[in-house]
């Protein structure tokens, strides 16, 4: 199961599109480590699936490694409470993976004992300096970049992910290209992977001419990025564009298992968000929605809780691959034209992946690229889980597959 632990609702930035600006409560923590440990121990961590979908639990568990327990530190800015992070790492038993999503401004302050146990660090950076600073605040880009580079200077070799929010000020192809060309002090790629989220979760959308932007900028940019991705793939190189690798992984697995995707972020399936006040929900961005009880009084059979798609998503032909994109957007993005336009971006992404799937399968068969079989856990030369094959993510490290 995935445990999104909100270490604090406080943040040292005030990004214009942050959902936390609306929901932030800055509540004090009301639970202790033994409370969380009991929650983990009591959940049967074999994966939560919708029994109504008649899904084979063993297959889906192998596919997504849902037998793993992952703690994903979230906020606010989670690094404002590094004391809790270290305490949990020291005292909580049975956790397989630790990750953190951060704005990057405090990365230089992470103690080694915490840093070296993190599998994945997701840094909020929106591409080029002018794009990032416009939406996140003056000099935020440089602070995040400095923080990310400091991790490599200290020898941390985990999965460093650029976490982008895409707004009407974004030029998707240029933003991604900028991230991919960033290097550390050894002139090696700074970020291993990049993913993005469209700033389109609820009405009214903070866009001017959203449909025009999608048609004239975004979908064209995604197509060009996929051409870049395929060009490198033909040479045996996998560019870490997470929405591409994640969707390709699902499509290849779907041909074998016929299993629907479910929400790729796993919200409403096998993810639980734990807030400072003890509330449990299916999604860390929506503390007032999808309640699963409290840490001291969770709902019965927590590991089999299920929150499904409603409205247009429930009957959409793309649901089997998209999974519904986002629980929050499913409930709040109700304006028909905006909802339909967002859906076109997802269908376009799926089409890009599907149209290239025959060639991808040929490259795998010829040994040009590696795609581990379902349930495999390939190791790198240091004996760690290899996160850099085409099958990515190998566990839910909080990246977004469907933007």
Mean pLDDT by 10 residues, the chain (403 residues): 93 81 68 95 57 40 60 95 97 95 97 96 97 94 98 95 94 97 96 95 80 95 98 96 96 88 83 93 83 91 78 89 88 79 96 98 96 81 79 89 94
pTM over 0.85: yes
- By DSSP bridging, strand 2-6 and strand 271-274 are parallel
pLDDT of amino acid 391: 92
Question: How confident is the model at residue 207, as a pLDDT?
Answer: 83
> In this predicted structure, what is the pLDDT of residue 53?
39
Q: Which of 120, 148, 145 is closest to 2 using CA atoms? A: 120
Reported as a single tens digit per residue, the pLDDT across 273-316 is 999 999 999 988 877 778 999 999 998 877 767 788 888 888 89
* DSSP-derived 3-state class of residue 131: helix
Cα 95 from Cα 41, distance rounded (Å): 10
Closest residue by Cα to residue 104 from 83, 125, 88 = 125
Q: Answer for the pair 240, 191: CB distance below 8 angstroms, yes or no.
A: yes
For each of the domains in the chain, give its residue range(s) and CATH number, in order of start. Answer: 2-365 (3.20.20.70)
Question: What's the pLDDT at 206?
Answer: 79
pLDDT score, position 205: 78
Report whether 225 contacts 182 (CB < 8 A): no
User: Quick one: pLDDT at residue 24?
Assistant: 53
Q: For the chain, how long is the longest CA-to-CA vector?
A: 56
Contact 387, 239 (CB under 8 A): no
Nearest Cα to Cα of residue 153 among 113, 127, 188: 188
pLDDT at residue 42, rounded to an integer: 87
pLDDT at 44: 58
Residue 143, CA distances (Å) to 148, 212, 347 in order: 9, 33, 35
pLDDT at residue 20, rounded to an integer:
60
């Amino acid at each position: 199961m995935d445990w999104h632990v909100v270490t604090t609702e406080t943040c040292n930035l005030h990004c214009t599109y942050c959902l936390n600006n609306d929901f932030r409560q800055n509540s004090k923590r009301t639970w202790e480590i033994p409370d969380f440990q009991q929650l983990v121990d009591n959940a049967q961590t074999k994966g939560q699936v919708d029994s109504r979908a008649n899904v084979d639990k063993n297959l889906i568990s192998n596919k997504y490694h849902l037998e793993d327990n992952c703690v994903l530190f979230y906020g606010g800015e989670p690094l404002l409470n590094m004391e809790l992070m270290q305490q949990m790492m020291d005292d909580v038993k049975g956790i397989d993976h630790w990750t953190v999503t951060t704005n990057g401004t405090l990365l230089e302050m992470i103690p080694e004992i915490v840093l070296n146990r993190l599998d994945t660090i997701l840094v909020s950076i929106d591409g080029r300096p002018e794009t990032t600073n416009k939406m996140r605040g003056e000099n935020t880009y440089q602070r995040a970049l400095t923080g990310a580079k400091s991790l490599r200077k200290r020898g941390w070799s985990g999965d460093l992910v650029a976490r982008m929010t895409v707004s009407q000020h974004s030029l998707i192809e240029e933003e991604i290209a900028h991230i991919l060309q960033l290097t550390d002090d050894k002139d090696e790629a700074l970020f291993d992977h990049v993913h993005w989220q469209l700033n389109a979760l609820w009405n009214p959308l903070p866009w001017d001419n959203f449909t025009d932007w999608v048609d004239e900028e975004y979908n064209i940019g995604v197509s060009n990025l996929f051409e870049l991705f395929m060009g490198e793939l033909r040479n045996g190189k996998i560019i870490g564009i997470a929405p591409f690798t994640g969707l390709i992984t699902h499509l290849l697995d779907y041909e074998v298992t016929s299993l629907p995707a479910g929400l790729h972020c796993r919200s409403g399936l096998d993810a639980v968000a734990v807030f400072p006040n003890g509330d449990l929900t299916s999604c860390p961005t929506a503390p007032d929605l999808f309640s699963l009880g409290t840490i001291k009084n969770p709902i019965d059979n927590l590991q089999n809780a299920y929150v499904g798609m409603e409205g247009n998503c429930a009957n959409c032909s793309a649901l089997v691959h998209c999974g519904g994109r986002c629980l929050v957007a499913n409930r709040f993005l109700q304006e028909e034209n905006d909802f339909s336009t967002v859906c076109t971006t997802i269908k376009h992404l799926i089409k890009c992946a599907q149209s290239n799937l025959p060639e991808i399968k040929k490259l795998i068969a010829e040994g040009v690229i590696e795609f581990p079989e379902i349930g495999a856990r390939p190791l790198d030369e240091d004996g760690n889980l290899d996160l850099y094959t085409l099958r990515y993510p190998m566990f839910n490290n909080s990246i977004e597959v469907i933007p």
